[in-house]
Amino acid sequence: MKTKILFLILTFAWFISLSACTSPVENDVSDNSRIITVSVLPEKYFVERIGGEHVQVNVMVGPGESPHSYEPKAKQMAALSNSALYFAIGVEFEDAWMERITSANPGLRVVDLSQDISKLPSSDADHNEDMDPHIWTSPEMGKTIARKIGFVLIELDPQHADDYQANLAVLLRDIEQLQAEITNSISQMDTHQFMVFHPGWGYFANEFGLEQIPIEIGGSEPSASELAHLIDTAKNDNIRVIFAQPELSTQSADFIASEIGGRVILISPLAEDWLENLRLVSQTFADAL
Ligand code: ZN
């Protein structure tokens, strides 16, 4: 009798341990996590840091592509039907495509992360309504974006509110640390001006008291006379480094750099590791300026 009971207990324990082993697989995050679509790679960073294991992120504008001229692929348009949410950020391709995206997916909730942010005028006037769309290059704006994402994820999935809150708190702490580091590295710079092909750093410049001199005029390469003027400016202001972006042309930047005996350094506002990229860019500024 005793052995029979022992056998039953052991069998029962074996079943329990078996189900304990299989339950994490049944609850695998990839099955239950929500698919969230974003426009640009830095948004992916924010949503993943806050959403953690509860989200899967789809990006429209992939590495090497520009959100100013981007056109979604048919496959990406079709994949939107699996998305629970779309975080827009106010880049040009959204204006051209969002109507098509929402009419094809009437259930898709679209949240514009740039909505509560007061935008700066675009320094080269090529962007819609002359406003600069690159809000995410400022860590302070990054905090606003992070809080909004946290708020919306909690609304969408209140069951995991504690996780979202905790992840958001850690991210906000990291951003504050980054701001202190950038303030420190920028205080060591000799000049506060920098020349860049595509003016993607307006919000960064604004936050840290820098002046961005764009090479691009109205979203295109400068004319010969505009180039000559830029070369004069660079010489007068003792500019030695011209910044350009890997996603875009470096032709004008190369030309100006050769005329002033300087060099071109590539920086991108679109890198996926948003935090590390801003740290790297500020160190690059500090070393080069
Ligand atoms: Zn841009």
pLDDT of residue 124: 64
pLDDT of residue 144: 98
Buried b (16+ CB within 10 A) or exposed e, 116-151: ebebbebbbebbeeebbbbbbbbbbbbbbbbebbbe
pTM of the model: 0.86
Tell me, in angstroms, the distance from the centre of ligand 1 to residue 39's CA.
Answer: 13
Tell me, in angstroms, the distance from the centre of ligand 1 to residue 262's CA.
Answer: 24
Task: Name the burial class of residue 27, with classes exposed (0-12), middle (13-18) and buried (19+) by CB atoms within 10 angstroms of its CB.
Answer: exposed
Tell me, in angstroms, the distance from the centre of ligand 1 to residue 69's CA.
Answer: 10
Domains, the chain, in order of start with CATH, read 29-181 (3.40.50.1980), 185-288 (3.40.50.1980)
Tell me, in angstroms, the distance from the centre of ligand 1 to residue 245's CA.
Answer: 9
Task: Name the burial class of residue 194, with classes exposed (0-12), middle (13-18) and buried (19+) by CB atoms within 10 angstroms of its CB.
Answer: buried
Tell me, in angstroms, the distance from the centre of ligand 1 to residue 236's CA.
Answer: 27
Tell me, in angstroms, the distance from the centre of ligand 1 to residue 243's CA.
Answer: 13
Tell me, in angstroms, the distance from the centre of ligand 1 to residue 200's CA.
Answer: 5
List C-alpha distances in Å: 88 to 15, 113, 117, 149, 244.
47, 6, 13, 11, 25
Q: Give residue-wise pLDDT tens across range 91-145.
A: 999 998 999 999 999 999 999 999 989 999 887 655 445 789 999 999 999 999 9
pLDDT of residue 175: 98
Q: Is 1 helix (H, G, I), strand (E, B) or coil?
A: coil
Which residues of the chain register pLDDT less than 70? 1-32, 124-129
Spell out which residues have Cβ within 5 A of ligand 1, the ion: 200
How many helices and strands (H and E) does the chain possess? 11, 8
Q: What is the DSSP string of 139-208?
A: HHHHHHHHHHHHHHHHHH-GGGHHHHHHHHHHHHHHHHHHHHHHHHHHHT-S-SEEEESS---HHHHHHH
pLDDT of residue 135: 97
pLDDT of residue 129: 55
Tell me, in angstroms, the distance from the centre of ligand 1 to residue 126's CA.
Answer: 10
